[in-house]
Structures are given as structure tokens and as C-alpha cells.
Amino acid sequence: MCSALNLKDFSDSLRKSVWLAIKELEDKKVFIHSEPLRVRLHGKLIKLPLISTLATLNALVARGSMLLYGGYGGGKTTLVKVLGRLLTGESIREIESSIIRAHPQLTEEKVVGRLDVGKLLTEGAEKIVWRNFISSFWKIIDEINRLSPSAQDAIFSILSEGIAKYFDGIYETKEYVFYATVNPRDIGSYPLGMPLLDRFGIAVPISMPRYDEIADIAEVPDDKLVEWDDSIIPAFLSKDQLIVIWNLVSRVDLDVEAKLFIGAIVREFSACIRTLKELGTFLDFAESICKGCHFNTENAICNKIHTPLSVRAGKALVRYSKALSWLLGLDTVPVNVVYAVAPYIIWHRVHLSSKFLEKFHGNRFEAVRSLIDTAFRNFINRLPVYYEFMKLETGNSDINLINELEKSAASDLIVATDLYPIAKQILENNYLELVRSLVKAINNQDTDRVHDILKRAINEIPNNLRGRLFRVYEKLIRRNRKVFVTDIRNWEKTLDKLIELIPSFREIKNEPLDKHRIKRIKINLTEISVHFTGSMKNAPVFVEVYGLGNMDEIADKIGKFLKEVPIPEQERIKELGY
């Protein structure tokens, strides 16, 4: 076996650098605000500096995008500018040169790029000179709400597709960290449309410091005399190291309850027993739609949310929950981490009932936070039902579950719209016979039988149940997966030896090692996933093997050269037979 990467030490070193960056922000009082981010873990309440921690989390996920809501002069732009220096090593001057200071007259040309007039006149060529903002890694827009709608469209393209467009030119900007500040009191501002707001992964409302916090300003050097520059602000990480962190964060698994809670939040904020909120009718006819509905109660969530959450919101909950869990050194994402970040992921994406919002004096964030609390209580009460339903999916549940679900459906909207109808469909089709046969065939490593069952599923059960069966299949074959790790340097030395034992690795022989990506190899019913986390020579390379047939044989061959890493145990999964 080649020299093995010590993954724990490598990850701990990067994590320590991130914490040093947060500490630097706090020690230098770059942003004065004492509100904590509260996370309860193992019975203890952890308090983290709210603004510094959330702004840092945004840099720990690939293409993170954050909105900072607050009035003039609070230090929002300075905070994210200094953070860029701390986490990428770029100079303050470089970061400053790419910042967009928004105003209503700022044209798309000033945001995106311009034609090279010299080339146009002499050669007739439409060569585009892209603005620093477009080509920069650390992107900042100051007061994005002052951008005109056409300029906002350019930002939308970056956030939604990772590309900038101007004339016939396209600039790919796939790797970035994005921050935008918003001053909601600015009378010269343009409204940010819901599609654009939904592209921002996280948003944090920023209030002015309290009286005792304002006193701390006296301890901060006068920024008219001493500017924030590279001599004052150290660099703890490089851009390449930050990209490796993105990939490490992406590998953090969610535990079962965290996954269920994310699904519960999205459905609680979207479901309606009478109509599809996605059609937009709820915005205009909410009162008449809710009238007479037995779910229309004081404690309900459905009657207070007029616009449903997108799938994108669920993905953001996953990404930022993983980032916080990685930062805290956790092996998996627990449900309490999801609960801690959820209000900041959700509040800017929804349109609330005006009557409900009045109870919070128009404070949309606090209104949404109260709904997250309600969703969490509902989730805890519903948790036994979720577990029984998951057992039903694998053919293990008591057939009397349907009676319990029918009773729960009378008072629980999610049971009524999701769990009960699906359970009825499972029992009315031959899903149970197929899934029980599938579990048995997988346990017996009977690959021919597995193939036969999956083919039958395509022909014998409805599309939604077929998708459910295939997801169960994926979970079942991944339960015994094995993960190996090395680094780029040793991967280059080892690959030829791996090819001798497993010729299919030749598919990635000539793959460039200058960027992070995932390459998949399929050998019959065995899947091999090779995850390159970055371009640095010490960047980890993960090789994951799972499936049926000769999976163990393939894993043994890989294990001769690469170090196996343990997979965090999830006891709940064991109970379910996953």
C-alpha cells in the first residue's frame, strides 16, 4: 500500500484555519454584533457568532450565495471583503476592485462586460472584455436592490447557470463565492423578484448594534486613518484549499432524521389539501381556498404560506447543514443542525399571509422562524409514523399501518397529502411482493434475480412506486459500501497498478487532475465512484465501491493500494433493514 493520507489530520487542519478566520473577524471587531447562532448538540447548547459564522458557511459550499439584509453603515460589505482575504488569500485590493457598487443607472455593460472597441473597429470582431466582477472568484454586490431589472437579469444568469452573457459571448464562472447586501429602506431601489431571491442559498437579517455593542466601536481603529489591508488581515486559506473544503463538505452524510426533517419542512411550507400552490392561485385566492377547510386552524402552517418552497430550497438546506456540521467536526448531519440553519435558508423565499405577518409587526424572519418551530414540533410528533412508513417501503411494516395513517390524516396535512395516499397505493399494487423479493435477492447476492425484479417493476407498478422501489434498491446496495482515500500525489503513482488489477480504471487514466470532479465507473452491478476534491497534490481522492456481484473482490483489490476509511454508523438505518 502506498503512503496513506491521514484524512482526519488533513480535515482538522483545514477546519482549524476556518475557525481562525472566524476568530480573526471577532477579535478585530470587523463586524460588531453579539446575536448568537444556537445549535443544541448532545444535550449542550452551542453558541456561535451569528453573522460571522453564517457568512463563513456561505464560503464552505460550492457556489455559495448569500444575502445580507440591513441598513446603511453596518459593515456588511467590509465583513465579506475581509472574509474573502481570510479564506482565499486574495489581496484586499483585488477583492475591492471586483466589487459592484450598485445604483439605478448601472447598465448591464458596467456589470458584465464591454466590447473591445479597438478590435471591433480594426478587425470587425466582437471581442468582449469581461468585468473583474465576472472573472473574480470572490464576488460582492453592494446594495443589489439598487440594480435595474436588466442588470438583475445578468446576476440571475450567474446564480442559476454559472454563466455570464453579453452579445454573443459567454463566460463560464462555475467556481465562486457570492455575497450581496440589501438595504430595504433605500427609496431608489428595485424589488428583487422571487426567482432571483430563490437563487440565494442563505439570507441573514442584520440589525443595528445594541447600545453596549456600539461602545465596542471605540476600540476599533479609526478606518479613516487605518484601512483594512493585507498587512492587517492575514490569509488562513487559499482558493484551492477552499475548493477542497467544498468537496469535503459535500461528503458529509445526513442522518435519517435530518433527511426526514428537510423533507418535512419543504412539504409543510408547500402542501395544500385543496390546490397546488405551484400554480400561483393561492396568492390571489388564499382566503377563499382556506375557508371551511378543517386544516385551516390557528396552529396550521399551510394557511400562512402563499408560495411553495422550491426543490432548490431543500437542496440549500442540505448544503448549508452539511457545511455547519463539517465546521463543528461532526461525522453526519444531525436534525438539530438543520433546525438551526433552516430559518436563514427559508425566510427570503416565501410570501406570507399579511394577517399572520402583522402578528410579528412585519418581521418576516421572525414569522418564518416561528413556523420552523411549529414544523419541528409537528415533525417530532410525526416521527413514529415516518419510521413505520419507511418500513412499509421495504416490506417490513405491519399491514395495519394503513389504519393508523388514515386516523392521522384527519389532523396531519403531510400524512393526508403524502404518506396515506402513497401507503394505499403500495398496498393496492404488487409493490410489497416486489420489494420483499428484491430485499431477499440482494441479501442472497442473486444478481440475476435482482435484474429480473427490476425489469418486472418497470412493467408492473406505477411510475411513482417504481421510483420508490429503485430508491430502496440504491439504499440497500449502498449499505455495505466501502470507501478508500489517498491524495493526488499518491493517486498518480498508484493508478497504473490499479489498472493492472481493474482494467476499467483505464477510463480515467487520461483525465486531467487540475480540477475537482466525480468520475463513475460501472462494472456489471458494481459501481465505482472516484471523487477528486481539488488540484493540490495533497488534495484527497476518494474511491467508493458499492453494489452486487464481485463488489467485495473489486474492493479487496483497491484496498491493496488505498487506505479504507470508516463510514459513520447510523443505527436508525440498521433498524430499518437499510
- DSSP track, 188-217: T--PPPHHHHHT-SEEEE-PPPPHHHHGGG
Over residues 372-398, the pLDDT tens digits come to 999 999 999 999 999 999 999 999 877
Q: Which helix (H) or strand (E) holds 128?
A: strand 128-130
pLDDT value of residue 510: 77
| Fold type of domain 254-380 | Helicase, Ruva Protein; domain 3 (1.10.8)
pLDDT at 36 over 50: yes
* Strands lying side by side in the sheet with 177-182: 100-101, 138-142, 177-182, 65-69, 202-205
Average pLDDT, the chain: 89
For the whole model, what pTM was predicted?
Answer: 0.94
Confidence at 269, pLDDT banded by 50, 70, 90:
very high
Would you state the cell numbers that stand for residue 116, as one nine-digit string? Answer: 473591445
Backbone angles phi, psi at 483, to 5 degrees: -125, 135
Confidence at 108, pLDDT banded by 50, 70, 90:
confident
Confidence at 121, pLDDT banded by 50, 70, 90:
low
Q: Is 330 left (phi over 0), alpha (psi -120 to 50) or beta?
A: beta
pLDDT at 569 over 70: no
Please count the other Cβ atoms lying within 10 Å of the Cβ belonging to residue 380.
Answer: 13
Rounded average pLDDT over 115-140: 79
CA-to-CA distance for 163 and 435, rounded, in angstroms?
A: 43
**Which residue shows C-alpha cell 443589489?**
144
CA-to-CA distance for 575 and 150, rounded, in angstroms?
A: 54
CA-to-CA distance for 521 and 536, rounded, in angstroms?
A: 23
pLDDT value of residue 217: 63
Instruction: Describe the crossing of helices 420-428 and 463-478 by its angle, rounded to 10 degrees.
Output: 90
CB 542 within 8 A of CB 493: no
What CATH number belongs to 480-576? Answer: 3.30.310
Nearest to 59, CA basis, from 251, 258, 237:
237
Would you state the cell numbers that stand for residue 381, as one nine-digit string? Answer: 410528533
Let me know if the fold of 9-249 is the same as that of 254-380: no
Over residues 462-495, the pLDDT tens digits come to 999 999 999 999 999 998 899 999 999 999 999 9
CB 540 within 8 A of CB 491: no
Percent of the chain at pLDDT > 90 equals 68
Nearest to 253, CA basis, from 577, 576, 476, 573:
573
What CATH number belongs to 9-249? Answer: 3.40.50.300
Q: Are strands 65-69 and 540-547 parallel, antiparallel or unpaired?
A: unpaired
Better-scored residue on pLDDT, 342 or 396: 342
Please tell me the least confidently modeled range out of 105-114, 230-239, 264-273, 400-409.
Answer: 105-114
Percent of the chain at pLDDT > 70 equals 92
Better-scored residue on pLDDT, 36 or 207: 36
Domain boundaries along the sequence of the chain: 9-249, 254-380, 480-576
Amino acid (1-letter code) at residue 413: L
CA dihedral 267, 268, 274, 278 (to 10 degrees): -50
